Every structure is written in structure tokens, then in C-alpha cells.
């Protein structure tokens, strides 16, 4: 059975996996992750924040946290730059900071197959629903119109599709009749902020493998748990 280690190497709190967190907006997930990394001895650290939008609150958070950030907008002088040009600039920033794992946290742009090929097994995303239900950019709106009483969040590997990569972990969150998109998003984010640092720890500890049968996450007793 072929096996590929997600994240590329086994890290420790003294040799942490170097993460770049990609954002497009508020950056609350990025801040929660960095606070977890700094307050607990985790085997991963954030070394760079990448945003495809200038002047977003997440960049102010990064600056308050003392983190370097890289802004690569996809429009320049009123014109769209090519996907290739956009990603080449990002790739250069990742190389400059010796990044090992890409952590998407509210990054609202698809990465190209060429980019993902280069970063195979080393890009993860968090999505605010129980995938495969409610993919896309309006998960909470879609959850509320469906009238379901359970939603949640999903951490998954990133492939070329929209929120389609292999699922690493999920957490359920209740939907209340009184919810609007903001109250639901706030409740889901509480769970997201707990889950993401834990899943990155499993990856950094070398417990997540991609095999011919799919993704395997090992628990402390070496049992496959998903």
C-alpha cells in the first residue's frame, strides 16, 4: 500500500512545521490559530500571512501579531493579472519564508492545478459546513435556507475542486430557528478555532497519510480513525 505523509515531514514543538496562512478578509481564524500556537507548545507555527486583498482587517491582525504579510491582489492598475502571475508572486513569498504547509483560512480564491501540483499534500482548508453539504462561498446562507438543524465545519485537503478535497475532520454545530448568517457564522467559528490547531497538530506529528484508499488519520494508539 503506497503512503504519503501529509505535510511532508514529522515536526516537533522545537522544530515546528512552518505554515503560511492565506486569508481574504477578517482573519479571525488566523488570529485564533496563531494564539493557539503561541500559548500551547504545538509542532507548527505561522511564519507568513498571505492575502489576495489589500486593506482587510486580517492584515491589521497580522501586523498586531508581529507577523510578516504578503498582499498579492489579482487586479493591478484596474486590470486582472493572470492566474500564473498571481501565483508566481505567492510562490516566491512562500520560498522566501521557507513555508512547508499552506493553511487556507477564509481564502476565497481557487488555487490552480499547477500550484496544487507543486504543493501536493501540503494545502489544507477549513470550510464552514459539514462537507460535502453546502460547499461554496455562501455556506451559512445555504444552510439557513435548507432548514437543516445541524451544520458545522470541515478541515480538508485542497484539490482542484471547490471544497472537494479529502476530509480530515469535522465538527457539528446546531442551527437555531432564530439564527441569521452572522449568529450562525459566529457559532461555527468558535468550533473552527478549536478544530484547526488540532488538525494541524495531527499533520505536523506525522499522523495523517494519503494512501491509495484515501486519507488515514492515526490516533495515539496508532489506530486509523478515519
Does residue 28 bind ligand GAR (CB under 6 A)? yes
Does residue 192 bind ligand GAR (CB under 6 A)? yes
From the list 127, 140, 193, 216, the catalytic residue is 127
Nearer to ligand GAR, 11 or 34 (CB): 34
Phi, psi of 28 (to 5 degrees): -70, -35
Least distance in angstroms from the C-beta of 157 to ligand GAR: 14
Q: Which long-range contacts (CB under 8 A, 24 or more apart) does 76-82 make?
A: none
Among 16, 128, 165, 197, binds ligand GAR (CB under 6 A): 128
Q: Does residue 58 have a cis peptide bond before it, meaning omega lies within 30 degrees of 0?
A: no
Pairing assessment for the beta strands 167-174 and 150-157 based on DSSP bridges: antiparallel
Least distance in angstroms from the C-beta of 153 to ligand GAR: 6
Q: Which long-range contacts (CB under 8 A, 24 or more apart) does 73-77 make?
A: 74/109
Least distance in angstroms from the C-beta of 101 to ligand GAR: 17
Residues 56-115 that bind ligand GAR (CB under 6 A): 58, 105-106
Cell representation of residue 121: 499534500
Does residue 126 bind ligand GAR (CB under 6 A)? yes
Residue 123: CB partners within 8 Å, gap ≥ 6?
A: 101, 102, 104, 111, 116, 157, 158
Least distance in angstroms from the C-beta of 77 to ligand GAR: 27
Phi, psi of 126 (to 5 degrees): -115, 135
Among 8, 13, 25, 68, binds ligand GAR (CB under 6 A): 25
- Annotated catalytic residue 127: yes
Could you tell me which of 148, 159, 68 has the C-alpha nearest to residue 121? 159
Q: Which residues bind ligand GAR (CB under 6 A)?
A: 23, 25-29, 58, 105-106, 126-128, 137, 139, 163, 189, 192
Tell me the catalytic residues: 127
Amino acid at each position: 500500500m503506497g503512503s504519503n505523509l501529509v505535510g511532508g515531514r514529522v515536526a516537533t514543538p522545537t522544530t515546528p512545521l512552518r505554515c503560511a496562512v492565506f486569508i481574504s478578509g477578517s482573519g479571525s481564524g488566523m488570529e485564533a490559530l496563531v494564539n493557539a500556537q503561541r500559548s500551547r507548545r504545538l509542532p507548527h507555527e505561522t511564519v507568513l500571512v498571505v492575502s489576495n486583498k489589500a486593506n482587510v482587517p486580517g492584515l491589521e491582525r497580522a501586523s498586531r501579531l508581529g507577523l510578516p504579510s504578503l498582499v498579492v491582489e489579482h487586479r493591478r492598475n484596474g486590470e486582472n493579472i493572470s492566474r500564473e502571475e498571481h501565483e508566481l508572486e505567492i510562490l516566491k513569498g512562500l520560498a522566501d519564508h521557507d513555508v512547508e504547509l499552506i493553511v487556507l483560512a477564509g481564502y476565497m480564491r481557487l488555487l490552480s492545478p499547477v500550484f496544487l501540483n507543486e504543493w501536493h499534500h501540503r494545502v489544507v482548508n477549513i470550510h464552514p459546513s459539514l462537507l460535502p453539504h453546502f460547499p461554496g462561498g455562501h455556506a451559512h446562507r445555504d444552510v439557513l435556507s435548507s432548514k437543516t438543524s445541524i451544520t458545522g465545519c470541515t478541515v480538508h485537503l485542497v484539490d482542484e475542486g471547490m471544497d472537494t478535497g479529502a476530509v480530515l475532520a469535522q465538527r457539528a454545530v446546531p442551527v437555531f430557528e432564530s439564527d441569521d448568517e452572522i449568529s450562525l457564522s459566529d457559532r461555527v467559528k468558535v468550533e473552527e478555532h478549536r478544530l484547526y490547531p488540532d488538525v494541524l497538530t495531527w499533520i505536523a506529528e506525522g499522523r495523517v497519510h494519503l494512501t491509495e484508499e484515501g486519507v488515514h488519520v492515526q490516533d495515539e494508539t496508532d489506530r486509523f480513525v478515519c
